[in-house]
A and B are shown apart, each in its own frame.
Chain A
Amino acid sequence: MHGTPLPPHAAHPATRRSRPADPSLKRLRARRLPWVALLWTCMVLGLAAAPVARAQQAPSFAAGGLTVCTNPTLPPMTFVNGTDGSDLAGVDIDVSRRLGAYWHVPVTFVSMDFVGLFPSLEAGRCGMVISGVVRQAAREVKFDAVPYQPTSLVVVARAGTAHVTSMADLSGKVLAVESGTSYAARIAQENVALAAAGRPAIEIQQYPTEDQVVQQVLIGRAFAFVSQDVELAFRQTQLNGKVSVIFQPDYPEYRNFAIYIRKDARDRAALEGAIAALRDGGQMTPILQRWRIMPGGGDMQAGDQKAVSGFNWRTFAAALVSPAFARGAAITLAMAVLSHMTAIGLAVPMAMVMNGRDGMLKSAIRAYVALFRAAPTLLQLLFVWNALPQFLPVFRESWFTPFLAAWISLSINEAAYQVEINRAALQAIDPGQALAGDALGMTRMQVYRHIIFPQALRIALPPTINEFISLIKTTSLASVISLQELLAVTQINVARTFEFTEYYAAALIYYLLIVFFFLWVQKRIERRFAWADRLKATSHAAA
């Protein structure tokens, strides 16, 4: 679908907050199966893939190339290695590449916010989702799941905390979980039991990214967090042994990471066969060793940066000047400027109609404004990116990039707000102005261009700049459709290194620079409005 691998990025609070509650969008984590069971599974899978010659043939979802959707914020499964923000790494990435090699097809990765993964799979934007997502029955209603790696749920607290013997022991304590995952729902079930026993509930706090969850325990706000053994093992090197597992609940639905594909019995069999073949061919072990899921590997590429206490100025400075941050800021800026200019271009004629006589067109515009102001921006982005291709297949083609989709969505959304601003500004102009223009023989367009617009601009400018500044921040929602803007870059780096303050500060500097620049531009433009103020007009005329 995309000509080149798209740069990865992560989610941020705004998108996660609006996550739908659909269980198919929830991440599940798993529990380690006994190795015996794994071996048995392998044998079964091996049998299923019996006609080996056919297994080499790419399944339909990988025909001509394997496109993989992933949310690279979950090391060691899928994450970004290095600061440039485009270097995907992890078990999931390696497994995908091996699958591509096995089927002799090129592999393309599309990284996006977690919320976007399954809608993208459904829309046909990618052939499979591999993103540290556990196998879960609820999700298998809509998709086929093929397990590739056993895992286990763990409850983790600060090092030195006494072990507990059951989830009920967490009664009354604060437990941090990643929002959008099914952990919260699972723990809510424990709370039902606790309530029945007349004991206080486990207090669940949800955070949008895994790294923030961990941070809550490190700073002491939460007693423990819920994670997976593989991830924790990886995190330990960054965390320097600051946390330890205090309990391993036995939840059957968190036992395996799975690859998800659209429902198709033959594809499923082919994928199962391929995974079994990789395993039998000894190709899985080096991957697991490499990412320290199995002992024996040594080549750990990430996690070598230790979380330091205090502010790491070097990280901060490196982030500030890194191409990834500069590129993220450039994308944020370009997206905001382009979308807002398009929005204004759309809104001005609509505002002119709104100030004219009643009619069909006016009612249509009113409906448009109401609709697009009511619907959350995030929903509009997801709709344009994921639902539109289902109605109109042309939007599935590679020309329809995330940038283009975000540009269209944000423009149409912003125009709905801008119509009101422009309409009010036009309405504020004394009708005598247009009358005078008419009486002087000007055409309608000349009256607008030379008389009304210049005056309306003065009235519309401050609320327009306000809208623009808020749009700069709204662009971060586009990370959900895999646009790698500034905040997405930040999250990816935080997920990789746990250096929150440094990367947040770097992002803040960029946002401040952008916003202050436009406030300065506003001041410059407002100087031209001296005519509206008697005193200023005098000094202006004297100058």
Chain B
Amino acid sequence: MIEVRNLQKSYGDFAVLRNVSFTVARGEKIVILGPSGSGKSTLIRCFNRIEPHDAGEITIDGERIDQKTELTRLRCMVGMVFQNYNLFPHLTVLENCALPPRVVKGAGREDAEELAMNFLHRVNIADQARKYPIQLSGGQQQRVAIARALCMQPSVMLFDEPTAALDPEAVSGVADIMASLSADGMTTLCVTHEMGFARRIADRIIFMDQGRILESAPPEVFFTQPRTERARDFLSQMIRY
């Protein structure tokens, strides 16, 4: 489904991604781990081309992502959820979800709102549809952000530390939703710093350091017998927290 070959990206002289290659199967849930600054966010932002890459190749569903890619179409196919939710504060929950299909896909207001309500039900937040984001808790806001991304009906979802600002109960709510997504065949790539969360949702862990992929393994393998010294250090530090 997703193929990454020799992906490279630098900011000036600083190489953020160095020859990253991996593949993701349809419906697979990938969790990307790694120390701060290792290039995780940069990597997943290359998939919806919020960060254009310098060299190498990304293909999604056989389609190459490069400067010729039509961005609107790509971003309809690849949804993204942020650490700080980035909900639109001036719009109600319902409007947050209904606006993108309306302006991007030209859906009618009623259709868009019906679609939005469906996904709000899906993430268990439909009862808050008329509220403004400021009135919701962090966990509720993150669920709205997921619903908003789903309203574009993407086939790939990118999550950049979706639970970093949430309390443990809210984390588990988000994890439930992510699990249910892949049950419907959604491909997900998720960056996180929470090992429990990673272990719970991941089909496979990708471990990055200094712009390189050092390990790629199922969670039970990665967490119990990491192959590299770097990953062992990383895990021991994480556990100490």
Contacts and interface: CB of A to CB of B under 8 A. Distances in A.
Interface of A: 430, 432-433, 435-436, 438-443, 446, 450-451, 454-455, 458, 529-534, 537-538, 540-541
A446 B130 CA distance: 23
B100 A442 contact: yes
A536 B152 CA distance: 31
A442 B104 contact: yes
Interface string B100-113: 10011000000000
B88 A451 contact: yes
A540 B131 CA distance: 9
Given A440-B75, A537-B134, A532 B89 contact: yes
A439 B89 contact: no
Given A433-B88, A538-B135, A440 B100 contact: yes
Given A440-B149, A441-B100, A455-B89, A435 B82 contact: yes
Contact of A441 (B82, B87, B88, B152): B152
A345 B44 CA distance: 38
A443 B24 CA distance: 28
B41 to A, nearest CB: 11
B219 interface: no
Interface string B76-116: 10011010101111111000000110011000000000000
Contacts of A441: 71-76, 100, 104, 152
Contacts of A450: 99, 103
Given A436-B82, A439-B79, A531 B132 contact: yes
Nearest to B75: A441
A438 B75 contact: yes
Contacts of A537: 131-132, 134-135
Nearest to B104: A441
A301 B196 CA distance: 97
B148 interface: yes
Contacts of A451: 88
B50 A438 contact: yes
Interface residues of B, number: 32
B103 to A, nearest CB: 5
A22 B166 CA distance: 71
A494 to B, nearest CB: 49
A538 B134 CA distance: 9
Nearest to A530: B132
A429 to B, nearest CB: 10
Contacts of A436: 82, 86-88
Contacts of A439: 48, 50, 75, 79-80, 82, 149
Interface in B108-143: 130-135
Contacts of B130: 541
Which of A450, A533, A538 gathers the greatest number of chain B CB atoms within 10 Å?
A450
Given A450-B99, A531-B134, A541-B130, A440 B104 contact: yes
B134 A533 contact: yes
A541 B131 contact: yes
A454 B90 contact: yes
Contacts of B135: 534, 537-538, 541
15 contacts: A435-B86, A436-B86, A439-B50, A439-B82, A439-B149, A440-B148, A442-B100, A442-B103, A446-B104, A450-B103, A531-B132, A532-B89, A532-B134, A537-B132, A541-B130
Contact of B89 (A438, A446, A531, A541): A531
